[in-house]
Amino acid sequence: MKIALVTPYDYPYPGGVTQHILHLDEEFRRLGHEVKIIAPSSGDKEELAKERIIKVGSVFPIPANGSVARVTLSLRLSGRIKQILEHEKFDVVHLHEPLLPGLPATVLRHSQSINIGTFHSYWSGYRLAYFSAKPILRRFANRLHGRIAVSAAALSTVSNRFPGNYVIIPNGINLQAFSGALPPLEGLRDDKLNILFVGRLEKRKGFRYLVRAFARLKAEMSNIRLIVAGAYDEKTKRRYQNLTAEARLSDVLFLGHLSLEDLARCYASCDIFCAPSTGGESFGIVLLEAMASGKPIVASDIDGYRGLVTFGQEGILVPPKDDLALATALRRLLSDEPLRKALGDRGVAKAQDYAWPKVARRVLDYYGKVREQSGAAGFPGLRRNQPPDSFGSPLAAGGPVEL
């Protein structure tokens, strides 16, 4: 089968959607399918082409959801997209955030293949945007033959505005990479207990609340360290370093963006993983990484995290923006090694269900189901030149279904 994976975001710039597509690409190709990624990118076009990535459009940073979305805003995509689709003749076009303006919506407009959309985001701003642009976006939504949400939180964002049958197929985890087999990072396995934060240093990630909680704990416990890893620039790093300096905190280590191997070693180095996000999270891939690494979790009790971590099973959930509650939960785990181990062990067991080979297989099975319902049985070449609207939406309006 020939599959296009389409993303609105700068590829391969770090991010949850990027990681999702990267792993689908790897698993699909491992199973013998032909895959190409269509994406805007700040990378070199020729180098990207060697990796089967078709670069379309320049990248512009746009503030969104307490973060920065690196997308293309070009209004001249149609001609290039039509050329690509006509030349490649994909059997399935799988669009991630398919209703976002720019690349996904343009591909969806011109695609004559079976169109699958995955909705990743959970954010009230998306609900407002979907509501405001509903008359326009409905035409695009009607061109989707299949709809996936990565979580119940992501589903709630889109389904009220664009009802239909959705399946929930979650993000996955590279179990081999985060199995805990790699040694800890040098210098981080001394007599200190390590609290790990992984993510971009953005407002919605809630790092400032973790700093306040750590300050409370540091006044009581001298043998603790806060490790900060993730993709952030020097300007942002300095701002948060100033925050820790103002609190007169020692033992806060900023590591920046890490390779996959060093990130896994970073998890292996920690005793507790902390995700203090304030909202806007649809899933929490970092939570899966911590679970697969056998680490107990302290996280905000928000929709996207609540769907993955069960209180008292793999971790402790606390109210968002509450540094006192955060400190209390961290203190409990820091002082109870058997509890840390029990939560970590249950996390490892749960993570097995999210292995990327299992998730990718569910996505492929869904492709087959949608094509069968669309009357395009046999996959190769059928209905390629017939727009989806001409044979109707195979998934009638109804409630969500989980495969």
Mean pLDDT highest for which of 247-251, 284-288, 361-365? Answer: 361-365
Q: How confident is the model at residue 282 (pLDDT cuts 50, 70, 90)?
A: confident
Q: Which of 50-64, 168-182, 313-327, 369-383 has the highest mean pLDDT?
A: 313-327
Distances from the Cα of 94 to the Cα of 103, 147, 268, 315, 316, angstroms: 12, 10, 34, 34, 35
The span from the CA of 128 to the CA of 116, in Å, is 23
pLDDT at position 270 over 70: yes
- Reference 183, options 269, 257, 115; nearest CA is 269
Taking the C-alpha atoms of residue 222 and residue 331, their distance in angstroms, rounded to an integer, is 12
**CA–CA dist 115, 366 (Å, integer):** 12
* pLDDT for the residue numbered 61: 62
Mean pLDDT lowest among 63-72, 118-127, 352-361: 63-72
Q: Give residue-wise pLDDT tens across range 141-191.
A: 899 999 999 999 899 888 878 888 999 999 999 999 998 788 999 889 889
Distance CA(93)–CA(90), nearest Å, equals 6
What is the reported pLDDT for 73? 67
Does residue 301 carry a pLDDT above 70? yes
DSSP per position, 159-172: HTTS-S--EE----
Q: What is the DSSP string of 291-311?
A: HHTT--EEEE--HHHHTTPPB
- Domains, in order of start, for the chain: 2-172+355-391 (3.40.50.2000), 193-353 (3.40.50.2000)
Name the 3-class secondary structure at 211.
Answer: helix
Residue 54 has pLDDT above 90, yes or no: yes
Helix (H) or strand (E) holding 24: helix 16-30
Residues 338-350 pLDDT 10s = 999 999 999 999 9
Q: Of 64-73, 93-102, 273-282, 309-318, which range is least confident?
A: 64-73
User: For residue 62, what pLDDT band results from cuts at 50, 70 and 90?
Assistant: low
Share of the chain above pLDDT 70, in %: 86
- Residue 196 pLDDT greater than 90, yes or no: yes
Is the pLDDT reported for residue 75 higher than 80?
no
Angstrom CA distances, 198 to 207, 288, 311, stand at 10, 12, 20
List Cα–Cα distances, 386 to 38, 110, 239, 338, 341, in angstroms. 22, 11, 54, 60, 56
pLDDT at 233: 78
Q: What's the pLDDT tens digit per position in 230-268?
A: 878 788 888 888 888 888 899 999 998 899 999 999 999
Tell me the average pLDDT of the chain. 86
Q: Which of 92-101, 123-132, 179-188, 325-334 has the lowest mean pLDDT?
A: 123-132
**Overall pTM surpassing 0.75 (yes/no):** yes
